[in-house]
Amino acid sequence: MPALAIERWAKNADCAPDDPVVLTVEGAHGPIVHAVTKAAAERGARAGARLTDARALDPALVALPADPEGDAALVQRLARWAGRWSPLVEVEGDGLRLDVTGVAHLFGGERGLVCDVQRRFAALGLTTRLAIAPTAAAAWALAHHAPCICDDDVAAKLTPLHIAALRLDADTVRTLDRLGLKTIGALIGVPRLALARRFRGAEDVVEALDRALGRKPEALTAIADDPPPRATLRLEEPATHHEAAGQALERLIPELVRQLQERHLGARRLSLRGFRVDGSVAVASVATTIPSREPKHLQRLLADKAAALDPEFGFDAFALTANWTESLGAAQESLVEEPSGERQVARLVDRLTVKLGPRRVRRPQPEESHLPERASGWMAAVQSSSSLLGEGDRSTKSSGGGVWRRPLHHASHGSPPRAELREDLKRPQRLLDRPEAIDVIYATPEGMPRRFVWRRAVHDIARAEGPERIAPEWWRQPSSARLRDYYRVEDSSGRRYWIYREGVIGDGRGGLPAWFIHGLFG
């Protein structure tokens, strides 16, 4: 993949194709061009050149930092995906090497295989240069210098290539160049003994040549496969009774827990699959708040869901998989078997979530917003970070958009001075899910409200404080959204409410302002 970095960038950045953009990495003497777009290449920018040199050729060049880690991660993901063509895939810099021995006929011969690979990578927006050769080193050389399919005669194909195709280091290549040995063909012609004597040690030219020509074996290192912990149980006879899944669970959990223990993992999400005789699969999944590998707890979480699996024509196999795991060291909490408070709370959350569903068991997730309904965000308790008792770190966790979130309101510590109303008293303890329209009578349109009717009951306003103006969030709301003037009001019997007027007269965003009730104070 010769242009992976720039193509990945172009795909994410969504830019015009003819922008002269270069991606740079920091070098010893300032930024170095790492990858260039086509337009930039036409203007003289070359990968490996210094940015200042490239800028000297064309000052209009746009330089952006490259993301080598991201590229490497993408290559890793592609390597996994490339498992569709070959069981043995190796990541090699920004390229992939596949062992296609005995595979090609599945894709209609080697030509068909190359076409298929090219087509599928092109669908991802990636340019590929492909070569098939009997040896891995030869394939690398051909892919980088002359993409083709090479059947048997490796030497013939390699002969015209420059010696850099042998993947020697730069110094050796320069030395060979100076000696006049510019192509591999020339190198093959030199007596082996002389070559071996001249280039010793690390930069072994002879060995590189041997690898390319297939005289010495070169092993591919397949990417590490890391399957999730999984326990399976096959039944001799299909089980048609409803307790089958529960009984299977009792045997699967110890096995899974053993695997988790060996790998020092704790399960965050488990799924039990029951394979029915007719080929259909029944799935029950649960999630936990903190990683766990305690058999009793996992059993308790899954038991209800397992019992609800319908065997229909009978299960003939079960598999229990920990789809999502986190590392969990061995820890002894106390001498007696009494879990700590934090762990207890996490287990409580798990139990509640399993029965009521993740959308009903939630924790506050403060959002950086002044709109009350947005400021009090909620997130599923089971998804919140593992530290249930720590307060700060939960909210500072970065989320999808990469925006750092900070809690807007801080818990008041100690006793504040009397004159100022405590921070938490400025916001109601209860918020209506959607503000309800109320009828308000007020002395002057811009003045304090005097009386309001909510749910057919009249409330005389004895005291009011406000307005507290909250402007609409123009960056995410339509331009017709109106500002809100919040009042804290107290009616004649002492009940305290949070009401607001939406809009002001003459703001050009609708007619007369409407009044709403939004919250109740305790």
Partner 1 sequence: MAGGLSLVAGGGSRAAEIRPIPSGLGECWRLPGPSGPTLSELFAAHPRDGGWAGFLLAQVAADKPLLWVQERMAILESGRVHPPGLPDKNLIHVEARDARDALWAMEEGLRCSGLSAVIGEIWGDPRALDFTATRRLAVASERSGVAAFLIRLGGHANLSGARMRWRIASAPSLANDLDGRAPGLPAWDAELFRARGMPPGRWIVAHEAGAFHLVAGAGDRTLGEERRLRA
**Which residues of this chain interact with partner 1, rule CB under 8 A?**
340-345, 347-349, 351-352, 355-356, 359-364, 366, 372, 375-376, 378, 381, 388-389, 391, 407-409, 411-412, 415, 418-422, 424-425, 427-433, 448, 454-455, 457, 462-465, 488-490, 493-496, 519-522
> Least distance in Å: CB of 391 to partner 1?
6
Task: Return the sign of the alpha-carbon dihedral for residues 174, 178, 179, 184.
Answer: positive
- For partner 1, which is the closer residue by CB, 276 or 488? 488
Q: Which is nearer to partner 1, 76 or 299 (CB)?
A: 299
Shortest distance, CB of residue 397 to partner 1, whole angstroms? 15
CB of 452 to partner 1, least distance (A): 12
Least distance between partner 1 and beta carbon 439 (Å): 15
| For partner 1, the closer CB: 422 or 469 | 422
C-beta of residue 282 within 8 angstroms of C-beta of residue 310: yes
CA-to-CA distance for 190 and 168, rounded, in angstroms?
Answer: 17
The whole-angstrom separation of Cα 501 and Cα 459 is 16
**Whole-number minimum distance, CB 488 to partner 1, in Å?**
6
Name the residue with tokens 């969030």.
473
CA-to-CA dists, residue 331 to 176, 288, 305, 328, 339, angstroms = 60, 18, 29, 8, 11
Closer residue to partner 1, CB minimum distance, 424 or 439 = 424
Name the minimum Å distance from CB 463 to partner 1: 5
Query: Shortest gap between Cβ of 473 and partner 1 (angstroms)?
Result: 17
Residue whose CB is less far from partner 1, 43 or 363: 363
Q: How far apart are CA 88 and CA 222, in angstroms?
A: 5
* Cβ–Cβ < 8 Å for 379, 289: no
Q: How far apart are CB 74 and partner 1 at their closest, in Å?
A: 39
Long-range pairs for 250-253: beta carbons < 8 A, 24 or more residues apart: 250/299, 252/318, 252/319, 252/320, 253/295, 253/298, 253/299, 253/302, 253/320
Q: How far is the CB of 518 from partner 1 (least distance, A)?
A: 9
* Structure tokens, 41: 């290449």
In the numeric block, which tokens belong to residue 394?
């939960």
Which of 205, 209, 257 lies closest to 230 in space, CA to CA?
257
CA atoms within 13 Å, Cβ hemisphere of 254: 4
The token pair that represents 374 in the structure block: 């947005």
Q: Amino acid identity, residue 227? A: P
Please measure the distance between the N-terminal and C-terminal CA atoms of the chain and give it in whole angstroms.
Answer: 64
Determine whether 496 is exposed, middle or buried from the number of CB atoms within 10 Å of its CB (0-12, 13-18, 19+). middle
- Dihedral angle, C-alpha 161, 163, 166, 171, nearest 10 °: -160
| Smallest distance from partner 1 to CB 486, Å | 13
Q: Are 519 and 432 in contact (CB under 8 A)?
A: yes
Residue 294 CB, nearest distance to partner 1 (Å)? 15
Residue 145 or 363: which CB sits closer to partner 1?
363
Closer by beta carbon to partner 1, 171 or else 420: 420
Q: Parallel, antiparallel, or unpaired for β 21-27 and 62-65? A: parallel
Nearer to partner 1, 46 or 360 (CB): 360
CA angle in degrees (0–180, nearest 5) for 56-126-158: 85
* Residue placing its CB nearer to partner 1 in the complex, 83 or 364: 364
Supply the minimum distance, in Å, between the C-beta of residue 308 and partner 1: 17
The CB-of-407 to partner 1 minimum distance in angstroms stands at 7
**Is 289 within 8 Å of 382 (Cβ atoms)?**
yes
Q: Which is nearer to partner 1, 263 or 450 (CB)?
A: 450
Q: How many CB atoms lie within 10 A of CB 112?
A: 13
Nearer to partner 1, 140 or 454 (CB): 454
Indicate the residue among 18 and 436 with the shorter CB distance to partner 1: 436
Closer to partner 1 by CB, 340 or 480: give it: 340
Peptide bond between residue 160 and the one before it cis (omega within 30 degrees of 0): no
Candidates 270, 254, 271; CA nearest to 262 is 254
DSSP characters over 297-326: HHHHHHHHHHHT---TT-EEEEEEEEEEEE
